[in-house]
Amino acid sequence: MFTNYEGKSVPSVTFPIRVGNEWKSIHSDSIFKGRVVVVFSLPGAFTPTCSSTHLPRYNELAPAFHENGVDEILCVSVNDTFVMNEWAKDQEASNITMIPDGNGTFTEGMGMLVDKSTLGFGKRSWRYSMLVKDGVVIKQFIEPDQEGDPFEVSDADTMLNFINPNAKKPDQVAILTRDGCPHCARAKAILAEQGYQYAEITLPVAIRSKTLGAITQRGTVPQVFINGQHIGGADELQQWVQRQSIKAA
CATH of the domain at 126: 3.40.30.10
- How many residues does this entry show for the chain? 249
As a whole number of angstroms, the distance between CA 131 and CA 119 comes to 30
- Closest listed residue to residue 77, CA positions, set 102, 58, 97, 55: 102
The verdict on 30 and 127 lying in the same domain is yes
Nearest to 55 by CA among 10, 17, 88: 88
- Choosing from 50, 75, 181, 184, the catalytic residue is 50
- Looking at the fold, whether 121 and 238 belong to one and the same domain comes out as no
Regarding whether 221 and 153 lie in a shared domain, the answer is: no
pLDDT tens digits, residue range 58-90?
999 999 999 999 999 999 999 999 999 999 999
Cis peptide before 222 (omega within 30 of 0): yes
Compute φ and ψ for 131, nearest 5 degrees.
Answer: -105, 125
d(CA 17, CA 99): 8
How does pLDDT run across 121-154, given as a tens digit for each residue? 999 999 999 999 999 999 999 999 998 899 999 9
Percentage, residues of the chain above pLDDT 70: 99
Q: How many domains does the chain have?
A: 2
Contact 154, 55 (CB under 8 A): no
Contact 68, 33 (CB under 8 A): no
Q: Say how far residue 150 (Cα) sits from the centre of its chain.
A: 18
Which of these, 62, 53, 72, lies nearest to 127 by C-alpha position? 53
Domain that holds residue 135: 14-163
Q: Are 7 and 136 in contact (CB under 8 A)?
A: yes
132 in the same domain as 53: yes
**Domain stop point among 163, 189, 215:** 163
pLDDT of residue 109 exceeding 70, the answer is: yes
Across-strand partners of 125? 113
Q: Which residues pair with 25 in a beta bridge?
A: 16
Q: Is the dihedral of CA 76, 197, 206, 230 positive or negative?
A: positive
For the stretch 143-192, pLDDT in tens is 999 988 999 999 999 999 999 999 999 899 999 999 999 999 999 999 99
Look at residues 129, 163, 197 and tell me which one is the last residue of a structural domain.
163
What is the side-by-side strand order in the sheet with 128-133?
A: 97-100, 72-77, 36-42, 128-133, 136-142
3 within a domain of the structure (yes/no): no
Residues 158 and 178 in one domain: no
Residue where one domain finishes, among candidates 139, 163, 187: 163
* Closest to 185 in 3D by CA, of 232, 231, 230, 221: 221
Pairing relationship of beta strands 36-42 and 97-100 according to DSSP bridges:
unpaired
184 counts as catalytic: no
The answer on pLDDT for 205 being more than 80 is no
Rounded to two decimals, what is the model's pTM?
0.83
- As a whole number of angstroms, the distance between CA 244 and CA 204 comes to 32
Instruction: Find the mean pLDDT for residues 34-44.
Output: 97
Cβ neighbours around 93 below 10 Å, total? 19
| Statement to judge: residues 130 and 100 lie in one domain | yes
For the chain, the 3-state helix, strand and coil shares in percent, each to the nearest 5, are 35, 25, 35
